[in-house]
Amino acid sequence: MNLWIGVGAFVIVALVFLLLPLWRQKSALAGRHNEIRWPAVGVLGALPALTVGLYIYLGAPDIIKEQALTQAQANYDVDGMVKALEDKLKVTPNDAEGWYALGRAYIAFERFADAEEVLRKATVEAPKDAKLIAQYAEAIALKQGSLDGRPLELLMEALEISYEETKALELAGLAAFQKEKWAEALHYWRRLLKLLPKETEHHEAIAQAVVTAERKLDLSLGGTGMKAPTPPDEPKKTPH
């Protein structure tokens, strides 16, 4: 619906409220046309003009158009960027970072099979990049709906390369949590928590998860009152 149609309808309703009493008194005012004429004409002229004038001065009549435009632009840009990236990678197929970016874009669009394919290419180009491997693991997990099997192997591989890979720590923790290995999950997530910048939503979410895991661990150790055992130390084989 056009905004101005709505404005027009509102003005008409307002005029009905004002002029209906005049209409009702018409017979009583038979000989006194002047009394009716000028207030009626005044109101008919002034109310629509003032309404439009004040609204243009106070309101934001253009915002509806602007909102629609921004929305369209946003959609157009993302599609365009993905297309441009695909074209670019046809020319430079050994650009691991490029494949990685495209894979993340596919994940955002929930095209998991495509994401798996391009991230596999990324890991082929840069086999020792923990970030790419962890992302590849996530794509497979999203496609198959579970972290078990290949994703978990890849995550361990990524952590072998770098024990500070945040995505790998998060997913490894999640995998452990799903298997109800609370202490192990806590180990990965506490480690992750130290790496994440504070006061971010990500940090907060992980902190929440740590609390949940702590409570689960506490319960599994036989109810309240007992202190949670300190989690296992970091593996000695940490390469750093």
Q: Which residues of the chain form contacts with other proteins (CB under 8 A)?
A: 1, 3, 6-7, 10-11, 13-14, 16-22, 24-25, 28-29, 32, 35-36, 39, 43, 46-47, 50-51, 54-55, 58-61, 63-64, 66-67, 70, 208, 211, 215, 224-225
The helix/strand/coil state of 238 is: coil
Structure tokens, 131: 């970030």
**At closest approach, how far in Å is the CB of 28 from other proteins?**
8
- Residue with smaller CB distance to other proteins, 156 or 193: 193
- Residue with smaller CB distance to other proteins, 92 or 230: 230
Residue 115 buriedness (CB in 10 A; 0-12 / 13-18 / 19+): buried
- Residue with smaller CB distance to other proteins, 3 or 89: 3
CA distances from 58 to 10, 61, 110, 147 (A): 17, 9, 43, 55
Kindly give, in sequence order, each residue whose CB lies less than 8 Å from that of residue 218, ignoring residues fewer than 6 positions away: 224, 226, 228
CA atoms of 166 and 188, how far apart (whole Å): 9
> In terms of C-beta distances under 8 Å and separation of at least 24 residues, what long-range contacts does 144-153 make, across chains too?
147/171, 147/174, 147/175, 147/178, 148/175, 151/175
- Residue with smaller CB distance to other proteins, 32 or 128: 32
**At closest approach, how far in Å is the CB of 40 from other proteins?**
9
- CA-CA-CA-CA dihedral for 194, 196, 199, 200, to nearest 10: -150
Structure tokens, 216: 């689960």
- Residue with smaller CB distance to other proteins, 83 or 215: 215
**At closest approach, how far in Å is the CB of 228 from other proteins?**
12
User: Largest Cα–Cα distance of the chain, in whole Å?
Assistant: 106
**At closest approach, how far in Å is the CB of 231 from other proteins?**
19
Neighbours of 55 (CB within 10 A): 15
- Residue with smaller CB distance to other proteins, 18 or 81: 18
**At closest approach, how far in Å is the CB of 182 from other proteins?**
16
**At closest approach, how far in Å is the CB of 204 from other proteins?**
8
